[in-house]
Structure 1
């Protein structure tokens, strides 16, 4: 197994070579075999152990065991105790979910604090089979049927090519000590029930079940790759990525028979889960929206707009004194005196400095705001301007106004006010630039 592991690292996980690694170690047989393999290959690694304090003295004994074994190997060790039960009750979440969240949050904190390159876990082939069956019984698309991925960002699972029996044989042959978690014997958890009752039957029906499973996963990955390629090609034809949001053209999208599958592929990474509500947006009136934890999907006429959630800032006002030449918050802007007008764009305006009342202010727009559009006579309500320009709710929420006293100088990045323009009588020209 050691030579197979070494060859697997060299062939498939060569990016781990020479890197600083953190091993998640419970003290069970899988993680202790992983420790031994990494030690035999003289990899640069440390160990992280979580004590969830859920099994009393047994949890503390696991901690002591991992501590003693790493001390023998002279491997650095990190230990963290969690009051998991209390946290689960406080958050009204299951023990399993809370424990998973706590440990991975801590692991990634260690990665950042101690400059580890990757986190290694001891998941193996049988674990991947169990995950496949759990997702299969609950109902899943292709992604859920791919088992456990070999890598997620900085998390790597180098034992996925090994079965539980291979790991057990290696531990036995090399006298590797390990601790048995008593909760693994309980069938009250779905994973354990599959492990003890279902998978043995499948293995009895087909002695080559694990090899067949690996082949199936390979075929599914190929199908997933085809689906991702198709989604990417269609995305290029129907979606446009703007500075702060993505626009999905509904007419173009609906010309594809599998438009729902494409929407799922594009939006699922942003945390959307209420797919009935997402699909209902296609026929909804303008202004309807669906929320995920991090994003908003908004129907705006013939398009869907996808953008991150933002903290409301409608009451914020930023002051800009006369001698300030640069602004970094909430926007990047610069101010400088010039002698001539040149290269005026939507992001650069030139104003008569003598007409300004300092300090200037940056604020959000409000109902009732009016301005005098540059190049036009007469005033206009901002709400009417937004309607004429076909601003979405998202667009309006992102508008900032540069003001002199109570008067609008510039709808930043959009339209200057006529009242502050440079004329033949102007003696001081101020150039204002907005950097997107």
Structure 2
């Protein structure tokens, strides 16, 4: 196994002899075999151990065992303890995710402050197989079928070539002591269920399952490389980025196939999930102006483009003075255009009103419960909330609906309907056109 270990390191350029490597050692069989192999290979190493305080005396026993091994072999050893359960509760995480966040944050601190060049973890081939099966169960994309990466930044995984069985055989052949984690023998966690139930069943179909999957990782890696190259070419052809504004040409979607998947592969970087991308594609031929949101960004389905920007949080009421030509409010820009040419507008995002009836300053604000106006063509008041329901405005879009007021009266539900009292009539001599469009912060 030592020769395979060194070949794996060389093949993937994981580390050099002059690297100073921090080993994440739990005390379990995998990390103890990794420690032994690094020692046999003559690398400069140190040990890092986390006590997550989840298994009482067993966890303390693991910590004592690792400290003892380090002392006996004169290896520098760093240890820490976490209140993992409390951290998980405060941050609304599963225990597994909390432990992951805590340990990698601490590992990074030790690597940085102590001058290590690499962090080595003891993930092996079966860990990678289990990860792929978990991704498959939860509907991952192709990225999820490439297995655990051999290296990422300064993190290396020098045991990914070895199966769990091979590691056990090596440990026994070299009389390597380790601590058994009792939680690995239960079916409480999804990974353990796959380990103890699913993989044994699959191995009845293919006894060489691990190594078959290992070869497939190489195939998937090549397919991913082609996918990323294709996405780069697609981006070059259809995407324009200017400051924080991203413009996607809708011409691509004419006659294309698997549009949602292509769009998601680009937009996932901005927090959009696949379901939202399906909704975006479904809306492409509908009314322009529809908005979609991720946790950090918004996407507007414009006439010829999809427009992506960071979300804007500024929603304080905007005051518009006479002769003012531009205004910004939240995610919207407004252009104000007085004119002596009396001409009605048919554009959804434009309102052309009788200038004589408008008293400045105007207030531009979000609509609120209780707001009412006289929709164009109607002689009675209607609540804005009812108007939005009748016009099937989605819950997400309602949050960005704004109104323009003159002396406390709504003259326009922006982008939807003007007030009937401010419409152009036969006596109108001058008009003011208000036009709204998406606001893209620089």
Aligned residue for 1:21? 21
Taking the TM superposition and a 5 Å limit, the aligned residue runs for 1:26-425 are 26-273=26-273, 274-275=275-276, 276-280=278-282, 282-283=284-285, 285-309=287-311, 312=313, 367-368=319-320, 380-382=325-327, 383-384=334-335, 393-395=438-440, 397-398=441-442
Aligned residue for 2:345? none
Aligned residue for 1:421? none
Contact 1:369 1:381 in 2 (8 A): no
Instruction: After TM superposition, give the deviation of residue 191 of structure 1 in Å.
Output: 1.4
SS of the residue 2:247 aligns to: strand
Aligned residue for 1:355? none
SS of the residue 1:384 aligns to: strand
In 2, the alpha carbon distance for the partners of 1:217 and 1:101 equals 26
Alignment TM-score, normalising by the size of structure 2: 0.69
CA 1:369/1:303 → structure 2, altered by over 3 Å: closer, same or farther? farther
Contact 1:51 1:79 in 2 (8 A): yes
Dislocated runs of 4+, deviation >6 Å: 385-388
CA 1:15/1:305 → structure 2, altered by over 3 Å: closer, same or farther? farther
CA 1:367/1:152 → structure 2, altered by over 3 Å: closer, same or farther? farther
Instruction: After TM superposition, give the deviation of residue 94 of structure 1 in Å.
Output: 1.9
Aligned residue for 1:428? none
Contact 1:2 1:37 in 2 (8 A): yes
SS of the residue 1:32 aligns to: helix
SS of the residue 2:168 aligns to: helix
Contact 2:14 2:158 in 1 (8 A): no
CA 1:164/1:381 → structure 2, altered by over 3 Å: closer, same or farther? closer
In 2, the alpha carbon distance for the partners of 1:83 and 1:123 equals 24
Aligned residue for 1:352? none
The unaligned stretches of length 5 or more in structure 2 are 328-333, 338-349, 351-432
CA 1:223/1:114 → structure 2, altered by over 3 Å: closer, same or farther? same
In 2, the alpha carbon distance for the partners of 1:155 and 1:281 equals 42
Contact 2:12 2:150 in 1 (8 A): no
Deviations 1:204-258 (A, max 9, x none): 3323222221222222233323322222211111001212232111123444323
In 1, the alpha carbon distance for the partners of 2:17 and 2:309 equals 39
In 2, the alpha carbon distance for the partners of 1:244 and 1:126 equals 42
SS of the residue 1:135 aligns to: helix
Instruction: After TM superposition, give the deviation of residue 99 of structure 1 in Å.
Output: 1.5
Residue correspondences, number: 340
Instruction: After TM superposition, give the deviation of residue 179 of structure 1 in Å.
Output: 0.6
Instruction: After TM superposition, give the deviation of residue 183 of structure 1 in Å.
Output: 0.2
In 2, the alpha carbon distance for the partners of 1:152 and 1:281 equals 38
CA 1:367/1:112 → structure 2, altered by over 3 Å: closer, same or farther? farther
In 1, the alpha carbon distance for the partners of 2:224 and 2:116 equals 31
In 1, the alpha carbon distance for the partners of 2:229 and 2:310 equals 25
